[in-house]
Every structure is written in structure tokens, then in C-alpha cells.
Amino acid sequence: MPYHRPNGLVRAVRLVLTFTAAAAALAYTPLSDDSLRRIPSGGADFDIDSGALLAPILTPRVPGTAGSRKARQHFVDFFTTQLPGNWTVEWHNSTSTTPATGDALVPFSSLVFRRDPPWAVPGDVGRLTLAAHYDSLYRPEGFVGAVDSAVPCAVLMHVARSVDAALTDKWAAMLAAGAGGDGLDEEKGVQIMLLDGEEAWVSWSDSDSLYGSRALAETWEATRYDVASVFSTPLDAISLFVLLDLLGAPDPHIPSYFANTHWAYQHMAAVEGRLRKLGMLETPLTSQFMEEDWKEAHQFTGGFVLDDHVPFMERGVDILHIIPTPFPVVWHTMDDDGAHLDMPTTRDWARIMAAFVAEWMDLEGFLPALPVGSHEKCDGRGRGEKLEL
């Protein structure tokens, strides 16, 4: 993704979105300290050579190549065979020419992994939507893209497994209590988008970038739910679109880019701060990644980073963009590889995102205890532990 530019796109929908955000904000309940202590670390699964989640993604993943297919296989295997929960897989295939590849049609395959409450009618479920792109740059040849975006993909896999059992248990408890589907409880689902074709092949433009997310947003805009549904389209059913990008480099500074989702930024920042105080993060207490919780409405300049959220934002979706400014120094260079990752930062992202999603999904009381010894203060001793997949 490239430069910042002033945001003139979403003025018209701001007013409407503000009401939705306010309603959601009212319903938001922070997790207890006890629940936060149950959020697992990514641990050894983020090892760059042998980590079950991250290592398989640390290889070139140019669309249409074997590396891209292998990364997809890794994701599909994980969600459909490693996780006991019932994650559905939706493929979003498209093709396009690119300025680097002449008349050839390059295939792009974005993946959406989803869990809805088992009783829910699709058009009635609002979904927390977490996204990252898995493709890597076409040039320089051999570019790996560790922060861009292998780490965000692995973080989202960790998020899924960290909330999977609790979602199952919570929904079973709701069904047992007769609460499911009575219209009194908000129907909340979660979906993880692993997007293809984010990168430009030659130089960033509206047509040379965001191949996968443009196709997906268009498809969902045209997909109508039954007229009696709560939501009109799968886009309308996105309660919040959280896009992760360029994560895993040291000392990230994540601005709050959008006034209309600043409330969600504040919740994530609060989760981060609480995890730090509980001694559950590995980076120092003073190195808060999300420190703009103080921002006031008039301090939003309208600048943002062009990335996979744009096709969704243009269609009125609420966006929380978790991307550092300034970009990591390795950005779009051959140094963006596993060896240049800051592992404490990388593992902290995994825990912060898992905690935020557990909180958003109201998993208080349903998170399983961590294996003995794995939830102590992170002082280096516990880092090598491998968690069960």
C-alpha cells in the first residue's frame, strides 16, 4: 500500500455510520482481568523457521504461482482441519490482467473463513470482519513480505483458534438457555478475510492494486439478502472491518485514522494497555502500539493509507486500520523477511488481537484456562512454549 491522501470519500455516510457505532458502543463490555489472562500467546507457532502458523507463509506468494497456492492450502487446512469449530470457507476467485503480465489473465483467490451462531439466518448476523492480504510483491523477485503481510495472516489464524472453543461453548450455552434466535440477543458472527492481489504489479493506481478486495467488495455489494433480513447485503452485515497490515516490525506507532471508528480504536488500545499492565505482553510497558486514544474529533486530519479497506470504505463500511505510520523501514525491500521481524512485537500483536476479538464477541466466562505455566508474566521464560493447535 502506498501513500496517504486526504479523505474525501466517506463524508456522505458518516452520519448514518455514527448512529450504528454509537449503538454498538453502548453494548460493549470489557473482558475481566481473569478472561484477559486466558488469552494465549502465539508462542513458538510464530517461530520463523518452524512455527506452525507463521513459517509456512514466509515464502514468496505472487498471485498465480505455486507459492500462492501453498499459502492458501495452509490457510484452508488450518481452518477446516485444525480447528474444531465449524468454520465455513468461501472462495472469491477473480482474474485480471496486470500491467506487468500483458494479456495473460492472472488468477486471484481471496478466502473468507466464517463462524456464525448455529441458529442464525445469514442476513441477520452482524460480523466482526478481520482482514489481511496474503499475496506478496511481484518485484523485487524473491520478496517474502514478512510484515507485508505474512505476520498479519498468522495473527488472524491465532485469533481464530484463540476464540474458537469459547464461541462454540457460548453459542451452545445460549441455545441451551433458549436465548438463541429470539431476537433479543444481538446475532454476532466473525469472519476472517485473507485477501489476494493487494499489491501493485508495476506502480500503485486504482487499476493496479487491490485486485482481490475490489472483486470481493463488488460481489458483496451485489449480493442481496432476503428483504425481511436485518441486513441488506454481506457488506451491510460487516459490523466493523479491521484491516491488519505491515505488522511485526519493532516500535510500531498505530494512529487512529478514522473519527467514526475511534471508539473501536479506543477499545483495542484499552485492551492493549490492560494486557501490558497484567504482564502479558513481551514488549516494554512503555511501548504502547496504539497510543492515540486521546484524539478528539477535530484532530482527525482525514489522511489515511490506501489499502484493502478502500473498496469497502467507499461502500460505507466502518474501518479500523491497524497499520503503522511511519511504515516499517523494511517496507517493500528484500529485508522484509523473517529475520528482520521483531518477535516480541509479533507475538504481542497476536495476543492483543485475540483479546480484542474475544472482547468484541462477548466471550466473558467462556475462555478456557491456559495450560499451567503459560500465563505467567512474560519475562522470556515462557516464550518457547508450543501451544496445541
Ligand X SMILES: *[C@@H]1O[C@H](CO)[C@@H](O)[C@H](O)[C@H]1NC(C)=O
- Write down the catalytic residue from 245, 282, 336, 348: 245
Q: Find the binder of ligand X among 50, 80, 93, 333 (CB under 6 A).
A: 93
Give the nearer residue to Zn ion in terms of CB position, either 124 or 148.
Answer: 148
Which position has the grid cell 475511534? 262
Q: Tell me the Cα Rg of the chain.
A: 20
Element (H, E) at 94: strand 88-96
The two most distant CA atoms of the chain are separated, in Å, by 59
The whole-angstrom separation of Cα 328 and Cα 337 is 12
Closest CA to 345 of 237, 249, 210: 249
Give the nearer residue to Zn ion in terms of CB position, either 148 or 318.
Answer: 148
User: Is beta strand 303-305 parallel, antiparallel or unpaired with respect to 188-195?
Assistant: unpaired
Residues touching Zn ion: how many (CB under 5 A)?
A: 1
CA 226 to mean position of chain CA atoms: 28
Residues 338-367 that bind ligand X (CB under 6 A): none
Give the nearer residue to ligand X in terms of CB position, either 28 or 91.
Answer: 91
Binding string, residues 121-160; x marks residues near Zn ion by CB under 5 A: ---------------------------x------------
The whole-angstrom separation of Cα 53 and Cα 159 is 11
Residue 148 site contact among Zn ion, ligand X, none (CB < 5 to 8 Å, cut-off depends on kind): Zn ion
- Residue 86 in the binding site for ligand X (CB under 6 A): yes
Burial class of 266 by CB neighbour count within 10 A (0 to 12, 13 to 18, 19+): middle
Tell me if residue 342 is catalytic. no
- Residue 164 in the binding site for Zn ion (CB under 5 A): no
The whole-angstrom separation of Cα 375 and Cα 389 is 17
CB of 291 to ligand X, least distance (A): 39
User: Is beta strand 126-133 parallel, antiparallel or unpaired with respect to 238-244?
Assistant: parallel
- Write down the catalytic residue from 124, 135, 148, 198: 198
| Residue 184 φ/ψ, nearest 5 degrees | -85, -35
Q: Find the binder of ligand X among 32, 66, 91, 140 (CB under 6 A).
A: 91
- Give me the DSSP letters along 234-277: TTTTEEEEEEE-S-SSSS-------GGGHHHHHHHHHHHHHHHH
Binding string, residues 97-126; x marks residues near ligand X by CB under 6 A: ----------x-x--------x--------
- Residue 299 in the binding site for ligand X (CB under 6 A): no
Residue 118 site contact among Zn ion, ligand X, none (CB < 5 to 8 Å, cut-off depends on kind): ligand X
CB-CB contact of 287 with 251 (8 Å): yes
Of 84-92, 204-212, 218-226, 277-285: span binding ligand X (CB under 6 A): 84-92
CB of 107 to ligand X, least distance (A): 6
Which position has the grid cell 489464524? 157
Tell me if residue 198 is catalytic. yes
Residues touching ligand X: how many (CB under 6 A)?
A: 7
Residue 93 site contact among ligand X, Zn ion, none (CB < 5 to 8 Å, cut-off depends on kind): ligand X
* Residues binding Zn ion (CB under 5 A): 148
Which residues have a catalytic role annotated?
198, 245
* Residues binding ligand X (CB under 6 A): 86, 88, 91, 93, 107, 109, 118
